[in-house]
Amino acid sequence: MSEYFRAVDPFPLQGSQNTRLAPFYEALRSQKLLTTFCPQCALRHWPPRVVCPDCLSDRLDWIELPDQGTIHAYTIQDTGVPPGFPRPLIFAVVRVEELRIFTRLVETEPGQVERGRTVRLLPSAVGQDPEGDERYVPTFTLARGGAGETSLVKIVTA
């Protein structure tokens, strides 16, 4: 047998030759968080959609979201982490205005994570696609200084 190869990986193909959501990834490279907006329903989606789940229209606009949000829920995983991902993994559900965005916190001290804290977008590179273009995913990190809405208590830490 020749060397073990991996043909598909857990990361989406992001170029316009592979997906209509390419503008999202294009913006992510310059630290901008876009999502789709359905003008007919006046509805913002997360995650970005190719059709609006409310009216099935495929005529959606791209709009920019704030690059900050607050932690709605989080968990820190030490064991059972898939290969290729760093340990520990800090997962969070982040509220960005009316939307909830599932993400991972990077460059963050696990002990600092609390519900209600402010986080900001910090995209992570995850490896090249077959065309050699770097791919990014929308990770977040704790915003410096601001403690956000600190009225919420920390419940459990690892």
Ligand X SMILES: CC(C)(COP(=O)(O)OP(=O)(O)OC[C@H]1O[C@@H](n2cnc3c(N)ncnc32)[C@H](O)[C@@H]1OP(=O)(O)O)[C@@H](O)C(=O)NCCC(=O)NCCS
* CA atoms of 113 and 92, how far apart (whole Å): 9
Region 86-105 residues binding another protein, contact defined as CB under 8 A: 89, 91, 93, 99-104
From residue 51 to residue 90, what is the string marking binding to ligand X with x (rule CB under 6 A)? ----------------------------xx----------
Size of site (CB under 6 A) for ligand X: 2
Q: Which of 47, 66, 111, 130 binds another protein (CB under 8 A)?
A: 47
Closest C-alpha among 146, 140, 137 to residue 11: 137
- Shortest CB 3 distance to another protein, Å: 15
Q: Does 55 bind Zn ion (CB under 5 A)?
A: yes
41 binds, among another protein, ligand X, Zn ion, none (CB under 5 to 8 A by kind): Zn ion
Residues that bind Zn ion (CB under 5 A): 38, 40-41, 52, 54-55
